[in-house]
């Protein structure tokens, strides 16, 4: 049952993780694509710049040799021989594109050099016989003797492709590692973010199961009594007892449904919360009067201790319900002959209503659970009339009033419940 109920949440976590990784993959792809294009452009510019620098070095060397030697042609040839630029092929052509140095220049190089010189920027791409792509830069210049030459420099674009491929591999490995981390971290984040949902789903399942359990018993009693009464002949005394029993169970069902409605409206935020000035001591006095008859019928002494004026801001109906819940629990779990005491005081800027009793108490291990819905603890508490929703409603009322509720108890030593509200500073007139 548990596995089947959590299967949709597990699928949701997987889907969220897949979407998370997918979005990051898209981001990496767009970022990587833009980065690669930018780097490729910069690397191409770097190659072109190096080709231009090599051509300029060739031109400078040629002019120097023309100045130093009488034979211009021989001087220029020496200039080409003296230059050694790694991974660059240097060619010197005359004005008509004929080879000066090297002795033989491939036709495709000479044609590409002529086209490059005539172009706007002097660069051209050409294919080598072995399929490699080459990049050529050619520039026309005039020597010191007035002779016109063409300086051509050729680079293998495989140099650029190798660097680009190395970059892609490095980025791909880094991206893969990042995606693995994103996938793992994303799943952890998804689990953490869906944990409240899972807890809410578990609480909802328990709530529905407990509500069905609590309602099943009184409804079964109502149905059984009605069926028995219908099968019997009418007798005034017996019918009166039957109707009284039906009334009690109907009232119990009504109480459960009312509590469930209160909590449902609280969960959905549909219950409007008034923020009106009211006096906690007046509200507490009204609640004491309301339960005094119940305490007397059970043989319990209901006492009122300190009763200080305490002005707060809140919803009068809800605050009254809160005090009634606390008093009702105190009376319910206190045996005949016991005492229930209520105090209202103001201390450190907070108004407190404190209810103490001499009842059966609550074991320490059960105290953290007393505000859970339908929780009634040990058998002694489960046998008492109630549904285990009162303190859950009390916790909600304190939360919406920025108040605090605390319970101190021990088995056989009674229970102390204290509710602290923020004080609204004003005096009665």
In the 8-state DSSP scheme, what is residue 364?
G
- pLDDT at residue 353 tops 70: yes
The average pLDDT across 128-140 equals 78
Question: What percent of the chain stands above pLDDT 90?
Answer: 20
Confidence of residue 263 (pLDDT cuts 50, 70, 90): confident
**Residue 97: its pLDDT value, please?**
73
Chain-centre distance for alpha carbon 51: 54
Among left, alpha and beta (phi > 0; psi -120 to 50; other), residue 279 is beta
Considering the entire predicted model, what is its pTM? Answer: 0.51
Q: What 3-state class would DSSP assign to 392?
A: helix
- Cβ distance 310 to 346 under 8 Å? yes
For 109-129, the pLDDT digits (tens) are 777 777 778 877 788 787 777
Q: What 3-state class would DSSP assign to 316?
A: helix
**Residue 3: its pLDDT value, please?**
47
Chain length of the chain: 429
Confidence of residue 183 (pLDDT cuts 50, 70, 90): confident
Domains of the chain: 2-164 (3.30.450.20), 276-422 (3.30.565.10)
For 149-162, the pLDDT digits (tens) are 888 888 877 666 66
């Amino acid at each position: 049952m548990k596995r089947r109920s959590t299967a949709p949440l597990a699928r949701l976590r997987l889907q969220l993780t897949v979407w998370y990784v997918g979005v990051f993959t898209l981001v990496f792809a767009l970022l990587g694509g833009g980065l690669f294009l930018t780097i490729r452009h910069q690397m191409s510019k770097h190659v072109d710049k190096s080709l231009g620098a090599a051509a300029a070095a060739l031109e400078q060397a040629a002019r120097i040799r023309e100045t130093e030697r009488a034979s211009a042609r021989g001087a220029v040839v020496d200039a080409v021989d003296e230059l050694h630029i790694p991974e660059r092929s240097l060619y010197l052509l005359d004005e008509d594109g004929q080879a000066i140095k090297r002795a033989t220049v491939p036709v495709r190089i000479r044609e590409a050099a002529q086209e490059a010189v005539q172009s706007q920027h002097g660069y051209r791409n050409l294919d080598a016989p072995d399929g490699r792509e080459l990049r050529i830069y050619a520039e026309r210049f005039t020597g010191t003797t007035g002779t016109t030459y063409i300086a051509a420099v050729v680079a293998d674009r495989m140099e650029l492709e190798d660097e680009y491929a190395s970059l892609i591999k490095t980025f791909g490995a880094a991206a893969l590692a990042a995606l693995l981390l994103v996938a793992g971290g994303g799943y952890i984040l998804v689990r953490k973010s869906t944990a409240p949902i899972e807890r809410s789903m578990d609480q909802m399942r328990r709530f529905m199961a407990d509500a069905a359990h609590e309602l099943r018993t009184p409804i079964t009693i109502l149905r059984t009594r009605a069926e028995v009464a219908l099968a019997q002949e009418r007798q005034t005394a017996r019918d009166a007892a039957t109707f009284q029993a039906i009334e009690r169970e109907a009232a119990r069902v009504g109480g459960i449904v009312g509590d469930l409605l209160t909590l449902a409206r609280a969960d959905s935020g549909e219950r409007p919360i008034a923020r009106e000035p009211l006096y906690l001591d007046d509200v507490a006095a009204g609640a004491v009067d309301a339960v005094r008859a119940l305490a007397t019928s059970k043989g319990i002494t209901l006492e009122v201790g300190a009763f200080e004026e305490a002005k707060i801001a809140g919803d009068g109906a809800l605050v009254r319900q809160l005090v009634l819940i606390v008093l009702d629990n105190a009376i319910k779990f206190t045996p005949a002959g016991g005492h229930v005491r209520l105090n209202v005081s103001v201390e450190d800027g907070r108004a407190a209503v404190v209810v103490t009793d001499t009842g059966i108490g609550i074991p320490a291990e059960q105290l953290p659970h007393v505000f859970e819905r339908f929780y009634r603890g040990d058998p002694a508490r489960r046998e008492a009339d109630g549904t285990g929703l009162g303190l859950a409603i009390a916790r909600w009322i304190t939360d919406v009033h920025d108040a605090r509720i605390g319970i101190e108890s021990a088995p056989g030593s009674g229970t102390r419940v204290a509710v602290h509200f923020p004080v609204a500073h004003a005096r009665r007139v």
